[in-house]
Amino acid sequence: MKKYIILLLILSVLASVSCSDFLSTDDLTEKTNSTFPITEDDYKQAIAAVYAAQKSCYYDQINSFVGLSNYLDDDHIAGGRALFDDPAIRATERYQVRNLDAYSTPWSNYYTGIFRANFVLESLEKNGNTLSDAAKNNIEGQTRYLRASLYFDLTRLFGEVPLKLSTESNNPPRVSTDSCFALIASDLKRAIEILPSTSFQGINKATDLFNANKWAAEAMAGRVFLFYTGYYNKSELPLFEGGAINKSQVLDWLHDVIDNSGYRLINDFRNLWLYALANRGNADDYKFARDNNLSWIGEKGDNTEAIYSISFSALGENMNFNRFAHSVSCTVGGLFPFGNGGGMSAVNPKVYNEWDNDDLRKAGSIWNVRDFETEGIEFSETPAPNSGKFYFNSQSNMEETGFHQKKYSHIYVKVDGARVAANTIVNGIATKNGQSDSFVGIYIIRFSDVLLMAAELGSPNAQSYYNRVRSRGYFANHGDTPLENTPYYKAVSQENIQEERRHEFAFEGIRAWDIRRWGIEEQQITKYKTDVPVYRFGIPEVITIKYRPETKGLLPIPLNQINLSNGVLKQNAGWDSNDAIYSGN
């Protein structure tokens, strides 16, 4: 562990210098890629630093990729409080900023990860490493998957960005999105070609469970292809070395995941989420979990659905806990099973009201604070601190809706009648506080996504794949209950796939990019974020959030990075007017 910490410090120093001087990489230590890494253990340490950098892009409450994605979709109302950093999330959902350096942290986090990935790839090309061909391919494949994923997130957030392919210090301009996506595609294609075809059942769960593998690269290629061809109205995905990836190739990869990876749907959608742990066979367990006989699938190797997840440790130390999960938890303390947090991510009531009550994913994804019969949590019309009841926080809360997402909420369980953080039960870690006890990982790609992507791309098995996801959503099974001759059967179509994706992946940071690639972003924001009923300081109000088409949904390039580049970087459209500045609280 000490060696890992040393390496992280070395790479962090290099990367932080690079971010403060536009990715300058002066040699500040003796341990450079001329002398390190050499052995396989060295490379494991080096790639661990890349995974750690990716985790930092998903960790923070107002800078997490999932959080930013959710604030930009039509399923969420930002929520939060009037104080702290919370106005920044309400600015994001309005396509505005408090200041033009608002997204400096995610920008720097992504380039830190890209720098570390380039460090590993450069090292592999140098003489002197002692890796076998298999070990070298494994390290390279994982690193290319990570670099592709980092650039994919960065490009979706900011559009055209500088392309860094080495650790060399320079000041590159932004390049076309075609060039960015060509690099992403080439990295993923290379990863697919060189990573081993080890099925989920054959993966070493003790060492490789959360590592990128061939199946993750194939699935991510599907996501990249659908976004690029949809949003940019293209028919193929370009490759950096020339040529292109077409729909047929992507379908082959997705079919490979479905047929050969060993991944599959778990039996009950609701068991994917930590709240299912709050059913422990006791009369005072979480009523929803107890009534539905739920059992959390865990993170130890039984989850056949999680193709790629970002893992958070249980140490409760800075950057090791899931601060994002804390941020989206409600602000009321003392509830069971939901722990309190920042209240950033209220569910849009229009989405809740439209969702079919028979779909198990509705109550499995959303907590209706007034639904005592389902949840077993009382609601109070007036402030009731320390009562175990939910109430609208009239002291500080903005944009409360009465609906909270469950998927990533901080969770407590009951032990001998006492309310205990889930982290204590799962990992044996003594309860610290609401932030440090948030440990559960974040899903990046689930098997259900692969099924729906293949259906959307026109697989000959499209109806079957669509049925499997929908069947699991209504019948709590592995997707093998026939839907024909039931009220829940629908013929596969683009419209029905869009609806299914909305319900399957709600609040997972996917929806914003789906509506953008389908070309319906402004339409959906206008429909679902006009005249939304909320509670502001406990008082009912109606708000309207307007899409700003001049931004094309892109975030502004941080002003400090533009200044550091001496004007080489240019600002995105729509961010040079008074309309770009959020002046609310």
Cα dihedral across residues 172, 174, 179, 183: positive or negative: positive
Task: Tell me if 422 sits within 8 A of 277, measured CB to CB.
Answer: yes
Q: E strands along 210-303, which residues?
A: 237-238, 244-245
pLDDT tens readout for residues 475-512? 999 999 999 999 999 999 999 999 999 999 999 999 99
Domain 2-68+95-260, classified CATH 1.25.40.390, yes or no: yes
Give pTM, 2 decimals.
0.94
**What pLDDT sits at residue 178?**
97
pLDDT surpassing 60 at residue 16: no
Task: Tell me if 491 sits within 8 A of 463, measured CB to CB.
Answer: yes
Question: Which position has the higher pLDDT, 82 or 71?
Answer: 71
pLDDT tens readout for residues 19-62? 444 443 444 445 566 778 989 999 999 999 999 999 999 988 78
| pLDDT classification of 534: cutoffs 50, 70, 90 | very high
Q: Which whole number is the average pLDDT over 164-180?
A: 96
pLDDT tens readout for residues 444-479? 999 999 999 999 999 999 999 999 999 999 999 999
**What pLDDT sits at residue 468?**
98
Q: Which residues contact 58 (CB under 8 A, 6 or more apart)?
A: 64, 65, 66, 310, 324, 442
**What pLDDT sits at residue 32?**
67
pLDDT surpassing 50 at residue 365: yes
**Cα 81 to Cα 72: distance, rounded to the nearest angstrom:** 18
The mean pLDDT of the chain is 92
**Which residues share a beta bridge with 338?**
411
pLDDT surpassing 50 at residue 3: no
**What pLDDT sits at residue 6?**
38
- Min mean pLDDT across 89-103, 288-302, 318-332, 400-414 is at 318-332
Q: With CA atoms as reference, report the closest residue to 148 among 171, 121, 128.
A: 121
**What pLDDT sits at residue 5?**
38
Q: Which whole number is the average pLDDT over 175-198?
A: 98
pLDDT tens readout for residues 209-259? 999 999 999 999 999 999 999 999 999 999 999 999 999 999 999 999 999
**What pLDDT sits at residue 24?**
37
Q: Which whole number is the average pLDDT over 354-377?
A: 98
Task: Tell me if 336 sits within 8 A of 71, measured CB to CB.
Answer: no
**What pLDDT sits at residue 432?**
72
pLDDT surpassing 60 at residue 328: yes
Q: With CA atoms as reference, report the closest residue to 284 among 406, 376, 367, 391.
A: 376
Q: What does the domain layout of the chain look like in residue ranges?
A: 2-68+95-260
Task: Tell me if 534 sits within 8 A of 399, measured CB to CB.
Answer: yes
349 preceded by a cis bond (ω within 30 of 0): no
Q: Is 543 exposed, middle or buried (0-12, 13-18, 19+ CB in 10 A)?
A: middle
SS3 412: strand
| pLDDT classification of 10: cutoffs 50, 70, 90 | very low
Q: Which whole number is the average pLDDT over 259-273?
A: 98
Q: Which residues contact 3 (CB under 8 A, 6 or more apart)?
A: 45
Q: How far is CA 574 from CA 88, 236, 554, in A?
A: 18, 29, 9
Q: How far is CA 142 from CA 28, 43, 211, 538, in A?
A: 27, 11, 7, 48
